[in-house]
Amino acid sequence: MIRHRYLLLAFRLIVGGAFFAAGVLKVGDPLEFAQNIKNFRIVSHEVAFVTALILPWVEILCGALLITGIFRRPSALLVSGLLAGFIILIGVTIARGIDTDCGCFGSLSHKADWLLLVQDGFLLFFSLSILFAKTDRP
């Protein structure tokens, strides 16, 4: 378990910044994001639509809360859950041979591939470190 407070602060800023940016880049065009979700061929059309309306806001709120340090453990829990979900989703997509953009950063998104899997793995490690940090103010 990481106890170094400045390292934990850096983790918060990295994960928070990534999620805040991801949310802001998607929030303006929910239909485009819904299509990106559909491209993974996992959820139904309706679920994709509703997820596209809500998920960017979850990312924006969690990102802002992690950056500011308010509500950091609940935010870290949500972010960890989301990242675990993304990792499974990307893994399944690669295994099924589906060639699609991840849709993570709106029009700046790149392919759902191994590199993205590794990136999300690092972010998950950072967010879990924040969630289980021992210090009072990570």
Partner 1 sequence: MNFKKIFAGAGLIVLASALLGLAAHFPLFQKFLKGEFRESLFSSAKFPGLTLIGLAEAEELFIRKDALFIDSRPKQKFSQGHILNAVSVPLEDNKKKLNSPLNSPFARTVVVYCDGGDCQESQALAKVLHEEGYRDIRVYAGGWTEWARTGHPTAEGYDSP
Residue span binding partner 1 (CB under 8 A) among the ranges 1-9, 14-22, 58-66, 87-95: 58-66
Nearer to partner 1, 4 or 73 (CB): 73
Answer for the pair 27, 87: CB distance below 8 angstroms, yes or no.
Answer: no
Angle between helices 5-27 and 30-39 (to 10 degrees): 100
Distance CA 31, CA 12 (A): 30
Residue span binding partner 1 (CB under 8 A) among the ranges 5-13, 39-47, 83-91, 113-121: 39-47
Based on its alpha-carbon atoms, the radius of gyration of the chain, rounded to whole angstroms, reads 15
Should residue 118 be labelled a site residue for partner 1 when binding is judged by CB under 8 A?
Answer: no
Should residue 71 be labelled a site residue for partner 1 when binding is judged by CB under 8 A?
Answer: yes
Q: Residues 9 to 28: which contact partner 1 by CB under 8 A?
A: 27
